[in-house]
Amino acid sequence: MLLESPQKWSDYELIDSGEFEKLERFGKYFIIRPEPKALWNRQLSEREWMTMAHTRFTTGAGFGKSGKEDSGSWHQLKKMPEQWLIAYKKGGLDFNLRLGLTAFKHVGVFPEQAPNWDYIYSETLAIAKSNKLSEMAPPKVLNLFAYTGAASLAAKCAGADVTHLDSVRQVVTWARTNMELSNLDNIRWVIEDALKFVIREAKRGNKYQGIIMDPPAYGHGPDGEKWKLDELLYDMMCEISRLMAFKDSYLVLNLYSNGYSALLSETLVKSAFGLNLQKDSGAEIEYGELFLEDRFKRALPLSVFTRMRR
């Protein structure tokens, strides 16, 4: 099992964590947010946290225990803009993200996902080079539950033909802004229920060389369709198995739901793709956890992933 954390990212740092909160730096601004998994004590004092922080998000009692995505409010401690930019640069992987303070503690990026962006970029770049040698079109990459689009931008930086899907129009608009701020273009934007889209694409016989999934535990499509991870994820993965090109392709599945393990996600992918006993299938699978490490070398686990290439 792999354990992966962002490396050498100048615009992000987890400073300290503990007592159900975390202190982070995004660019030049320091933010305190709830973190249900930070069960330990802080290393820095409350005074040191408050001296550094520009803003702090607070919500109702019991957030850390329940892990529920409650709304709350930001309390400004120092002057800072409502929106600001950060950059992610690693060689040819170069894009910008507009951040902002939302009512649900999020700021527009999940920094622990950086290792997945690196993987998406490198895999897409390799496939794009192979396609070019074979005089094929650029690789088609589908990003489902795509949020503000960092993974879409990673694929686009590698030369992919990207389809970005999310059910929330405002989030898709945010992602389009990030594309423009990154001097990229021609991403296909889709506002639709993910499962409906995937079923329709499979029936049409469409194939993608890259598929990225980061589904929430609960959600709604634009027409009120209900998404519940426990009930629909396996059905979704079975449809994905029909969409993914059999050769020169990859899958990235990321899961945040509490109680899901990396081993569970690997078994899910293998089962949906029929790979349990097929050692000669040509598929390579890796799975693990994404985490952030604070200044005191303490690992804060945040999500599990499974990646497959073939």
* Residue 138 and residue 47 share a domain: no
Whether 76 is covered by a domain: the verdict is yes
Would you say residue 103 lies in a domain? no
Residue 300: strand, helix, or coil: strand
CATH code at 75?
2.60.40.1180
Contact by Cβ (8 Å): 84, 29: yes
Question: Which DSSP helix (H) or strand (E) runs through 177?
Answer: helix 169-181
Q: What percent of the chain has pLDDT over 70?
A: 94
202 φ, ψ to 5°? -65, -40
Looking at the domain assignment, is residue 64 inside a domain?
Answer: yes
End-to-end CA distance of the chain: give it in Å, rounded. Answer: 19
| Number of domains the chain contains | 2
178 and 258 assigned to the same domain: yes
Shared domain for 115 and 164, answered yes or no, is: yes
Identify whether residues 168 and 79 lie together within a single domain.
Answer: no
Provide mean pLDDT across the span 1-8.
93
- Is the pTM here over 0.85, yes or no? yes
Residue 213 maps to which CATH number? 3.40.50.150
What's the confidence (pLDDT) of residue 258? 67
Confidence of residue 86 (pLDDT cuts 50, 70, 90): very high
Q: Do 56 and 170 share a domain, yes or no?
A: no
Q: Is residue 197 assigned to a domain?
A: yes
Instruction: State the pLDDT confidence band at 65, using cuts at 50, 70 and 90.
Output: very low
pLDDT of residue 275: 77
**Pair (80, 115) in one structural domain:** no
pLDDT, mean of residues 166-173: 97
Contact yes or no for 2/288 (Cβ under 8 A): yes
Residue 45, domain extent: 2-85
Judge whether residue 64 has pLDDT over 50. Answer: no
Residues 223 and 123 in one domain: yes
With CA atoms as reference, report the closest residue to 163 among 123, 194, 196: 194
- Dmax (CA) for the chain in angstroms is 61
Per-residue pLDDT tens digits for 254-290: 999 768 999 999 999 999 999 764 555 689 999 999 9
Q: What is the pLDDT of residues 171-195, one digit of tens each?
A: 999 999 999 999 999 999 999 999 9
Q: What is the DSSP string of 40-87?
A: S--SS-HHHHHHH-SEEEEE-TTHHHH-----EEEEESS---SEEEEE
Q: Which residues contact 80 (CB under 8 A, 6 or more apart)?
A: 29, 54, 55
94 within domain boundaries:
no
Q: Same domain for 144 and 293?
A: yes
Model confidence at 124: pLDDT above 60: yes
Q: Is residue 218 part of a domain?
A: yes
What are the structure tokens assigned to 31, written together?
């933010």
**How sure is the predictor about 67, in pLDDT bands with cuts at 50, 70 and 90?**
very low
Asked whether residue 206 is assigned to any structural domain, the reply reads: yes
Same domain? For 125 and 172 the reply is: yes
Tell me the C-alpha distance between 18 and 161, whole Å. 42
Q: What is the mean pLDDT of the chain?
A: 93
Q: Which residue has the higher pLDDT, 254 or 219?
A: 254
Rounded to 10°, the helix 150-157/169-181 angle is: 40
Distance of CA 25 to the CA centre of its chain: 19
Query: Are 31 and 126 within one domain?
Result: no
Residue 279 lies in a domain: yes
**pLDDT value at position 282?**
80
Which long-range contacts link 225-234 to residues 24+ away (Cβ below 8 Å)? 225/167, 225/193, 225/195, 225/196, 227/193, 227/194, 227/195, 229/255, 229/257, 230/257, 232/195, 233/268, 234/268, 234/271, 234/272
Is the domain of 259 the same as that of 152? yes
Quick one: pLDDT band at residue 70, thresholds 50, 70, 90? low
Higher pLDDT among residues 157 and 134, named by residue: 157
What pLDDT does residue 63 have? 43
Q: 62 pLDDT exceeds 60?
A: no
Please check whether residues 124 and 257 belong to one and the same domain. Answer: yes
So what's the pLDDT on residue 66?
41
